[in-house]
Amino acid sequence: MNDLLNTQKRILVTGGSGFIGGALIRNLLRRTDNYIFNLDKMGYASDTSQIEELFLERPKLNDRYSFYQVDLADETFLSNCMTDIDPDIIFHLAAESHVDRSIWDPRIFLKSNIVGTFNLLEAARKHWEKLSATRKDNFRFHHVSTDEVFGSLGEKGAFSELTPYSPRSPYSASKASSDHLVQAWHHTFGLPVLITNCSNNFGPWQFPEKLIPVAIMKALDSGQIPMYGNGQNVRDWLFVEDHIEALMLVVKSGNIGSSYCIGGHGQKTNHEVLVSICNKLDRLKPLKFPYEKLITSVTDRPGHDFRYAIDSTLISNELGWKPRFSFEEALSMTVEWYVENISWVKYHQKSIKNK
């Protein structure tokens, strides 16, 4: 790591109590000497368990960690927090991210992902403009986005940094809007930004409303494992630890103003993912019948994108990144974690039912 991540910088992570944000904070605390500030509104999917587990293992790391409960929609409070935190680097991960929920209630996605990003950009810009010349040169605003902003693919092709935006859901439209705001603040005001668009993440500690944890827990309860339509929709799966490696590398070495597409080289149909989960559970927690028999087709999601795939050539050639874990290897670790942490999952399943 160069000085941007290795000389006791002050790093602000929005959405640090989420699945990806928490994994990022764990890595930053373990692998650098930076001071980490977690700014999160603590919505229904927020959880600090993975950070707290790290402190149980290494209590001294807590000395470099601070938490602020902030809703990015609260412009005044956010501005005060920015002054108090005085960051050198911002990782912006805070977002509403569940496609189905964006269909049920789009308004909260616009408020969080568009208005929240605007407020953060303005607070960051005003902060950056007041920094000394050296700190100003080393400041970075890293906006973490999704491949869903590019829309849907047919049988062939892959998304890249040159793919036109074509969002298809309220969620992806709100993220596309936030991407455009970030680029506008760079070109208009000179704010040193970076954008990454990632494929579907998975791994331990993922909130149990996403496909993989839902499938695991439904199977362990011997219930129906839901599969949208015929299960032939394709996603490119990215293990969360590989994603974190890419995020840190982009902040360290990425070209200011650039976007980088991060894919896991793990294209699978939804049906293939579910069958693979079932096969792993057959070995770990065998039933009297194969788990695959629990897979049940349900009504397809409205406007369900057919296929996502990412071409990671740019980040590979320019920054030397590639995923370390194969899909099957990472999925095995993920399934094993959920089997061993059922109580954590059941606790958070209750929070879903209350929403």
Residues known to be catalytic: 147-148, 171
Dump the DSSP string for 186-240. HHHH---EEEEEE-EEE-TT--TTSHHHHHHHHHHTT--EEEETTS--EEEEEEH
Rounded CA-CA distance 252/230 in Å is 42
Q: With left for phi above 0 and alpha for psi between -120 and 50, is residue 151 left, alpha or beta? A: left
Asked if residues 249 and 312 have their Cβ atoms less than 8 Å apart, the reply is no
Rounded CA-CA distance 76/14 in Å is 16
Rounded CA-CA distance 144/14 in Å is 10
Rounded CA-CA distance 144/228 in Å is 27
Helix intervals (H) in the chain: 3-6, 19-31, 49-57, 75-85, 99-104, 106-109, 116-129, 133-138, 170-189, 211-220, 240-253, 270-284, 313-319, 327-340, 342-353
Rounded CA-CA distance 200/2 in Å is 29
The residues pairing with 310 across neighbouring beta strands, listed in sequence order, are 159
Rounded CA-CA distance 14/71 in Å is 10
Rounded CA-CA distance 342/204 in Å is 12
Q: Which residues contact 206 (CB under 8 A, 6 or more apart)?
A: 19, 212, 213, 240, 334
Asked if residues 34 and 11 have their Cβ atoms less than 8 Å apart, the reply is yes
Asked if residues 9 and 35 have their Cβ atoms less than 8 Å apart, the reply is yes
DSSP state of 138: H
